[in-house]
Amino acid sequence: MIDRLRRNMDLGDGELAFLMETDERERDLFEAGDAVRRENYGVDVYIRGLIEFTNHCKNDCLYCGIRAGNSRAKRYRLDADRILACCGEGYELGFRTFVLQGGEDPHYTDGMICGIVSEIKRNHGDCAVTLSLGERSFESYRAFFESGADRYLLRHETASDEHYRRLHPRSMSPGSRKRCLWDLKEIGYQVGSGFMVGSPYQTTEDLVSDLRFLQELQPSMIGIGPYLTHKDTPFRDFPNGSLKVCLRLIAILRLMFPYALIPATTALGTIAPDGRELGLSVGANVVMPNLSPVAVRRLYGLYDNKICTGDEAAECRMCLQRRVEAAGYRIAIHRGDVKKAGPRGVAV
Ligand code: SAH
């Protein structure tokens, strides 16, 4: 079954569900994930410097610690100069991609975002800029792209409409989330999507739908991580997602999308001390260490017990390098664009 998945980059729904649920084929699955990753990316691990620039959010996603309704969250915003300073520091540390992520914060107008993006590109012409600011209009996305943004991360969170509605307030719709992803592709961004593993009410069938949606979308990057509980959300009593299921999904994703950029996420590193290394060992090939100022790190609290909230950027960078190398991989210093499939599946 695993050979077939590797050859055809696809399996039936029932077979995919079986691989997610069973222990039995796990070792072979993990080995195949690592083998396909090595075929396409060798031992290279791409790094992205993550700048969490605002935790203000107008949305009220039921799982998220920075939801508008969480009155206990202490809010912050970084101004353009702080963001540019983070990029400058990141550049010195070898980052060639900067990811600006935040809550959906209308304080940052299109004009402000465009100004920040073009300034980063002016300072660091050899770098890629990735935005992750949630849902905006086609025109806004196009303006960001025209000022130099290269990539956009917007997880679909769950592809099942019914499940989506259980995770979000009525003001948010699965259709508009997906519309945004198609808009971003049309404009020309390298698009990243993804989903949480083990979010409340999620079934294995929902996870199969997530894989099917990604097959349609064909994103450059696919980010997944375990759902992790935050004590000040309506989901406070739900358990965390499972590390094992998350690792199996990373391996499955690697076999279905051999060229995709797949991060070993902070959530994976939070659920287990060696979570990110395990992610790399089953097929992930990207890590996204934090470049935000230490003073605000703790405040970007999507979930409880988030790792790396106390370290300076330089310490994070060195710690990660040690971890990546100890796991048998190597950090690559370049923009880390996605490789595309050439004839007979050779990466180009
Ligand atoms: N506002 C942006 C960025 C969201 S934060 C947007 O809407 O895209 C980035 C990701 O963190 C989310 O897409 C979600 O998948 C993840 N996340 C949020 N809360 C989480 C939680 N409690 N556990 C695990 N992941 C979470």
Q: What are phi and psi of 165, to 5 degrees?
A: -70, -25
Band of the pLDDT at 311, cuts 50, 70, 90?
confident
Which helix (H) or strand (E) is 193 found in, with range? strand 190-197
Cα 169 to its chain centre, rounded Å, is 22
Q: Is residue 322 part of a domain?
A: yes
Q: Is residue 347 part of a domain?
A: no
What is residue 347's predicted lDDT score, i.e. its pLDDT?
Answer: 60
Q: Is the pLDDT of residue 321 over 90?
A: yes
Q: Rounded mean pLDDT of 164-168? A: 98
Report how far residue 87's alpha carbon sits from residue 90's, in angstroms, rounded to the nearest whole number: 5
**Residue 121 neighbours by CB under 8 Å, 6+ apart:** 127, 129, 147, 148
What is residue 342's predicted lDDT score, i.e. its pLDDT?
Answer: 60
46 lines ligand 1 (CB under 6 A): no
Q: Rounded mean pLDDT of 229-242? A: 98
Average per-residue pLDDT for the chain: 96
101 lines ligand 1 (CB under 6 A): yes
What residue's CA is closest to ligand 1, atom 13? 155
Residues 173-202 pLDDT 10s: 999 999 999 999 999 999 999 999 999 999
Report how far residue 257's alpha carbon sits from residue 338's, in angstroms, rounded to the nearest whole number: 11
CATH, residue 252: 3.20.20.70
Q: Rounded mean pLDDT of 48-66? A: 98
Please state, for a pLDDT cut of 70, what percent of the chain lies above it.
98
283 lines ligand 1 (CB under 6 A): no
259 lines ligand 1 (CB under 6 A): no
302 lines ligand 1 (CB under 6 A): yes
Task: Give the amino acid at 144.
Answer: F
Report how far residue 308's alpha carbon sits from residue 345's, in angstroms, rounded to the nearest whole number: 37
Report how far residue 119's alpha carbon sits from residue 129's, in angstroms, rounded to the nearest whole number: 11
Q: Is the pLDDT of residue 343 over 90?
A: no
104 lines ligand 1 (CB under 6 A): yes
CA of 302 to the centre of ligand 1 (A): 7
Q: Is the pLDDT of residue 269 over 70?
A: yes
Domain holding 8, by residue range, is: 2-335
Q: Is residue 340 part of a domain?
A: no
What is residue 340's predicted lDDT score, i.e. its pLDDT?
Answer: 80
Of ligand 1's listed atoms, the one at least distance from the Cα of 230 is 22
Q: Is residue 344 part of a domain?
A: no
Q: Is residue 342 part of a domain?
A: no
Q: Is residue 55 part of a domain?
A: yes
**Residue 59 neighbours by CB under 8 Å, 6+ apart:** 67, 68, 103, 104, 134, 168, 169, 171, 172
Q: Is residue 348 part of a domain?
A: no
Question: DSSP code of 291?
Answer: -
Quote the number of domains for the chain: 1
**Could you give the C-alpha distances from 98 to 24, 31, 49, 292, 318, in angstroms and in order?**
40, 31, 5, 11, 17
Mutate to test the pocket of ligand 1, among 155, 163, 179, 238 (most ligand atoms within 8 A of CB): 155
202 lines ligand 1 (CB under 6 A): no
**Could you give the C-alpha distances from 99 to 47, 127, 181, 192, 211, in angstroms and in order?**
10, 11, 17, 12, 24
Q: Rounded mean pLDDT of 124-135? A: 98
Q: Rounded mean pLDDT of 222-226? A: 98
Q: Report the predicted TM-score, pTM, of the whole model to 2 decimal places.
A: 0.97
Q: Rounded mean pLDDT of 252-263? A: 98
Tokens of 188: 């020309």
What residue's CA is closest to ligand 1, atom 6? 134
Report how far residue 115's alpha carbon sits from residue 94's, in angstroms, rounded to the nearest whole number: 23
CA of 118 to the centre of ligand 1 (A): 26
CA of 266 to the centre of ligand 1 (A): 11
Residues 65-108 pLDDT 10s: 999 999 999 999 999 999 999 999 999 999 999 999 999 999 99
Report how far residue 322's alpha carbon sits from residue 306's, in angstroms, rounded to the nearest whole number: 20
Report how far residue 316's alpha carbon sits from residue 291's, in angstroms, rounded to the nearest whole number: 8
Tokens of 1: 């079954």
Q: Rounded mean pLDDT of 336-343? A: 79
Q: Is residue 216 part of a domain?
A: yes
Q: Rounded mean pLDDT of 340-347? A: 62
Q: Rounded mean pLDDT of 3-13? A: 98
**Residue 204 neighbours by CB under 8 Å, 6+ apart:** 17, 20, 21
Band of the pLDDT at 339, cuts 50, 70, 90?
confident
CA of 64 to the centre of ligand 1 (A): 7
Range with the poorest average pLDDT among 109-113, 186-190, 264-268, 317-321: 317-321
Tokens of 167: 């995770």
